[in-house]
Amino acid sequence: MKASSDQPSIPFSRLGRGIQPPVIVDLMARALANPELLSLAAGFTDNAVLPRELVGRFAAELTNSGLEDEPLQYGQNQGRARLRELTCERIATHPGERLAAFDPAQLFITNGSQQALYLAIQAICDPGDIVLVEEPSYFVCLEMLKGLGLRPIGIPCDDAGAILPGALDCLLRTLDENGERERVKAIYLVSYFCNPSSRSLELDEKVAVAEALLANGYAIPVIEDAAYRELYFEAPHPVPSIMSLDAFASFPKLYLGTYTKSFATGLKVGYGYCSHAAWLGKILGIKGHQDFGTAHFNQSIIERVLDEGLYADHLATIQQHYAHKAVVMHTGLLAGGLLDAGWRWEQPKGGLIFWLRGPDGADLRMDSAFCQRCIEHGVLYVPGDLCFSSGKPWHCARLATGALPERRLREAAERFAEVARRL
Amino acid sequence: MKASSDQPSIPFSRLGRGIQPPVIVDLMARALANPELLSLAAGFTDNAVLPRELVGRFAAELTNSGLEDEPLQYGQNQGRARLRELTCERIATHPGERLAAFDPAQLFITNGSQQALYLAIQAICDPGDIVLVEEPSYFVCLEMLKGLGLRPIGIPCDDAGAILPGALDCLLRTLDENGERERVKAIYLVSYFCNPSSRSLELDEKVAVAEALLANGYAIPVIEDAAYRELYFEAPHPVPSIMSLDAFASFPKLYLGTYTKSFATGLKVGYGYCSHAAWLGKILGIKGHQDFGTAHFNQSIIERVLDEGLYADHLATIQQHYAHKAVVMHTGLLAGGLLDAGWRWEQPKGGLIFWLRGPDGADLRMDSAFCQRCIEHGVLYVPGDLCFSSGKPWHCARLATGALPERRLREAAERFAEVARRL
């Protein structure tokens, strides 16, 4: 029975009524559908450095003979114990982290870190509630929050994405004055090579967030999204996570990480680490209803790679690879004359994203003449307004360097620059 | 920072407050944690017939060289186009199905069919809403519905799980009289080798459901869970799905299937087929927020197996295997003297489940003396009260034959029978 216009209408749920087709889905579909269009939009990784050999080797090993702990069987809802242990150890290798801060019993494995974020938000937010975010912030998160009927509210940041001193304090007092205190349920920070700003939170900035929250009596859950943390170019960002910082000791905390960016995207294995026992219990309860466990085979493969000590080498290779691509993009934008044309950006120190600010008054939104010209020139980007809770300003663009091979990345930068310098 | 009792309390969301630790998670954990305990509880498949060779072969093939359509990259939110096509063709091979009834554009791939069910319910149900279910019904669905703040209401069925003629009609009129009409948002039917009743809906029974709904003006979404449909022993159940039955033509419909039972459990690939364009749009929108796509690698493996025509042979092997295990269980229960002791059950014609009814007045609940004695005797089952929306009656037990190897299955049946005949 094909869908047709004479179908009965369904009274959708509150959530259902609020759902709009996610932009991420559209962007991914466009990129996959039209190979002529050079996509700087979807945050894909680079096929060239996906760990085909490692995944193939351990997939073969794991299916070669019947194992007591069968990878093709169901696993546990929370995820494999050994993988959770290895993941905790892995997080603890970052500068300033304390291994004691990471207990495998509080880590849970998910279908990408997106699911961990979704579950955590489901547990603590009702429609109408507020989640504080940076400006700009991860647009898929903003869409997801709005889809759940929530109100992301941006903490004023400078043009490059740094939280303005005193801004959070001022925002919290304003929310108080407007009687919104009880609606503020969480703060969401993309603190390592932020998607989209590409910057990382500095220690004093992070501590200032905790102090402003405490000074105003907001002991709310703090969610730290570290999806790109491992993709540093020269050196890891030296600031420890909220889990190891004394300033955050009294907060309920969630730390999000993933193996989709740093290892095998198509295995879709991410994780969350939750410091708060009751919150974790709710998260696991909801996951039990949503899918009662992430693909056991995929977890087993990554566990084997980590256990054999093969992860770090792979990571070093892709760090170098993505560092080079960032240079290609930076050089391309410079060569395209964008500085003279009034465009600004920081050269990223990690991650897969460039965050460009066009001249004041520029309109780069999805339905703008600029965006249309870019598509005509065969290049796609994420309009920056999607990364702001209010949908403004309109003069920014997110360019992702992950997917395209070097030659095509150079071409995409050229195409973008050609349109951009004539803005 | 370890979880401790001095953690600040979080004001959980309405959903969060309603979440209880899912029984399924507890059962899976018990089964995995204690190999001495023979578990007839968790609905695992049999490690002995998991398609290790096929998964290993195609995992190797898919990682052997860089493919344009890279399996280790992200895929699309809705799932791989070719896999959706092959899945539609696969469903259409069942007796009475019309291939024209299955359009790949309306099929979506999920993390097991559980996620498809969860997404579909999210799109149409608000807290307090009603979902009609069989008695008994799939306990993980009942838990999930309750976790979302919904009210599953059972359609009166006979002891074996057959819907009593006229019962749905009567229930709908009662709901009307109680002013609940607007709260009834869906009906959920496990119509092939039902987990837990093991029976399949007959054609007249299915048509009667549609007629009762229409006669009372309930053109509500109909969800058909066909997770076990392919695991028939002698022959497929001859009744077509709701998608191909004229009686259901005017309903919004969702059909749920999965490759976790019939192929590789640990790949966690399931699917939903939705006849209703707007409902499907909402489902995909929510999935875009929840994880924006199921593991692409896993989808690619299953697609290759289907495309190479290797699925049917594997299925034939496991059908035979599970048919034999059902005989082992049936024989074991008979040999254990359960008939004389007043227990009743149907011998399943497919699936992995036996549904036992103990003598009237028996209490088999989780905290009953009977359940305790079973655990002392080293055997675990799912108390049947969990499969009823009201938590009653208490005299039923669900025994799953999937996980244990033959020798241990026989032993488990013996252990269960020993406790049961002394009830």
| Backbone angles phi and psi of B195, in degrees to 5 | -95, 105
Same domain, A114 and A225: yes
Same domain, B277 and B304: yes
**B382-383 and A222-225 as β-strands: parallel, antiparallel, unpaired?**
unpaired
Q: Which range has the worst mean pLDDT, A31-35, A121-125, A341-345, B221-225?
A: A31-35
Same domain, A233 and A335: no
Q: B329-338 burial, b if ≥16 CB within 10 A, otherwise e? A: bbebbeebeb
Same domain, A122 and A206: yes
Q: Which of A8, A77, A125 sits opposite B219 (nearest CB)?
A: A8
Q: What is the pLDDT of residues A28-82, one digit of tens each?
A: 777 677 778 899 998 899 999 999 999 999 999 999 987 888 999 999 999 999 9
Same domain, A324 and A202: no
CB-CB under 8 Å, B268 with A296: yes
Task: Quote the pLDDT of residue A5.
Answer: 52
Per DSSP, the residues of B204-267 read HHHHHHHHHHHHTT----EEEE-TTTT-BSSS--SPPPGGG-GGGTTS-EEEEEEHHHHT-GGG
Tell me the angle at which helices A52-64 and B52-64 cross, rounded to the nearest 10 degrees: 170
Q: How many CB atoms lie within 10 A of CB B146?
A: 16
Q: A5-28 burial, b if ≥16 CB within 10 A, otherwise e? A: eebeebebbebbebbeebbbbebb
From CA A323, how far away is CA A329, in angstroms rounded?
A: 10
* Domain range enclosing B44: 14-51+313-421
CB A347 within 8 A of CB A362: no
Residue B179 lies in a domain: yes
Task: Quote the pLDDT of residue A4.
Answer: 47
Cα angle A63, A68, A74 (rounded to 5 degrees) comes to: 75
| Residues of chain B contacting residue A28, judged by C-beta atoms under 8 Å apart | 74, 76-77, 292-293
Residues 310-369 of B with CB under 8 A from A: none
Chain B residue at shortest CA distance from A117: B290
Q: Share the mean pLDDT of chain A.
A: 95
Task: Quote the pLDDT of residue A42.
Answer: 80
From CA A189, how far away is CA B366, in angstroms rounded?
A: 43
A1 pLDDT band, cuts 50/70/90, is very low
pLDDT top residue among A65 and A182: A182
Residues 281-310 of A with CB under 8 A from B: 281-282, 284-286, 288-298, 300
Instruction: Average the pLDDT over B304-311 and give the result.
Output: 98
Residue A1 lies in a domain: no
CB-CB under 8 Å, A123 with B12: yes
Same domain, A221 and A259: yes
Closest CA–CA distance from residue A89 to any residue of chain B (Å): 14
**B130-134 and B184-190 as β-strands: parallel, antiparallel, unpaired?**
parallel
| Residues of chain B contacting residue A143, judged by C-beta atoms under 8 Å apart | 288-289
Closest CA–CA distance from residue B380 to any residue of chain A (Å): 17
Please identify, among A260, A288, A308, the residue that sits at the C-terminal boundary of a domain.
A308
Q: Determine contact: B64 vs chain A, CB below 8 A.
A: yes
A3 pLDDT band, cuts 50/70/90, is very low
Which CA distances in Å does B306 have to A60, B58, B81, B88, B297? 20, 11, 13, 11, 14
Best B20, B289, B294, B299 residue to mutate vs chain A (most A CBs within 10 Å): B289
CB B118 within 8 A of CB B131: no
Residues 244-283 of A with CB under 8 A from B: 249-253, 260, 264-269, 275-282
| Residues of chain B contacting residue A280, judged by C-beta atoms under 8 Å apart | 3
Same domain, B189 and B239: yes
Residue A376 lies in a domain: yes
CB B178 within 8 A of CB B213: no
Task: Quote the pLDDT of residue B104.
Answer: 98
Same domain, B334 and B230: no
CATH number for the domain spanning A170: value is 3.40.640.10
ipTM: 0.96
Task: Quote the pLDDT of residue B45.
Answer: 97
Residues 208-237 of B with CB under 8 A from A: 219, 221
Task: Quote the pLDDT of residue B23.
Answer: 83
Same domain, A69 and A39: no
3-state secondary structure chain A: CCCCCCCCCCCCCHHHHHCCCCHHHHHHHHHHHCCCCEECCCCCCCHHHCCHHHHHHHHHHHHHCCCCCCCCCCCCCCCCHHHHHHHHHHHHCCCCCCHHHCCHHHEEEEEHHHHHHHHHHHHHCCCCCEEEECCCCCHHHHHHHHHCCCEEEECCECCCCCECCCHHHHHHHHHHHCCCHHHEEEEEECCCCCCCCCCCCCHHHHHHHHHHHHHCCCCCCEEEECCCCCCECCCCCCCCCHHHCHHHCCCCEEEEEECCCCCCHHHCEEEEEECCHHHHHHHHHHHHHHCCCCCHHHHHHHHHHHHCCCHHHHHHHHHHHHHHHHHHHHHHHHHCCCCCCCCECCCCCECCEEEEECCCCCCCCCCCHHHHHHHHCCEECEEHHHHCCCCCCCCEEEEECCCCCHHHHHHHHHHHHHHHCCC
Q: What percent of chain B has pLDDT over 70?
A: 98
Instruction: Average the pLDDT over B358-381 and give the result.
Output: 94
Residue A184 lies in a domain: yes
Q: What is the pLDDT of residues A285-312, one digit of tens each?
A: 999 999 999 999 999 999 999 999 999 9
Return the number of CB contacts < 8 Å for A and B.
355
Instruction: Average the pLDDT over B183-200 and give the result.
Output: 98
Please identify, among A266, A289, A308, the residue that sits at the C-terminal boundary of a domain.
A308
Same domain, B278 and B386: no
From CA A206, how far away is CA B239, in angstroms rounded?
A: 62
Task: Quote the pLDDT of residue A96.
Answer: 95
Task: Quote the pLDDT of residue B33.
Answer: 74
Q: What is the pLDDT of residues B385-394, one digit of tens each?
A: 999 999 999 9
Q: What is the pLDDT of residues B2-32, one digit of tens each?
A: 444 568 899 999 999 999 888 877 777 776 7
Q: What is the pLDDT of residues B142-163, one digit of tens each?
A: 999 999 999 999 999 998 889 9
Structural domain count, chain B: 2
Question: Does residue B67 have a pLDDT over 90?
Answer: no
Q: Which of A11, A74, A106 sits opposite B266 (nearest CB)?
A: A74
Please identify, among B260, B275, B309, the residue that sits at the C-terminal boundary of a domain.
B309
CB-CB under 8 Å, A66 with B12: no
Same domain, A302 and A317: no
Q: Share the mean pLDDT of chain B.
A: 95
Per DSSP, the residues of B18-32 read H----HHHHHHHHHH
Instruction: Average the pLDDT over A261-266 and give the result.
Output: 98
Same domain, A243 and A356: no
CB-CB under 8 Å, A13 with B143: no
Chain B residue at shortest CA distance from A281: B21
Residue A413 lies in a domain: yes
| DSSP designation for B182 | G
Task: Quote the pLDDT of residue B5.
Answer: 52
Residue A268 lies in a domain: yes
Residue A265 lies in a domain: yes
CB A26 within 8 A of CB A280: no
Task: Quote the pLDDT of residue B160.
Answer: 87
CATH number for the domain spanning B358: value is 3.90.1150.10
Residue B139 lies in a domain: yes
A121 pLDDT band, cuts 50/70/90, is very high
CB-CB under 8 Å, B59 with A126: no
Q: What is the pLDDT of residues B218-265, one digit of tens each?
A: 999 999 999 999 999 999 999 999 999 999 999 999 999 999 999 999
Q: What is the pLDDT of residues B198-219, one digit of tens each?
A: 999 999 999 999 999 999 999 9
Question: Does residue B1 have a pLDDT over 80?
Answer: no
For residue B224, list its beta bridge partners.
B189, B255
A378 pLDDT band, cuts 50/70/90, is very high
B187 pLDDT band, cuts 50/70/90, is very high
Least Cα distance to A260 among A323, A172, A195 occurs for A195
Instruction: Give A416's contacts (C-beta < 8 A, 6+ positions apart).
Output: A40, A333, A336, A374, A377, A379, A381, A397, A399
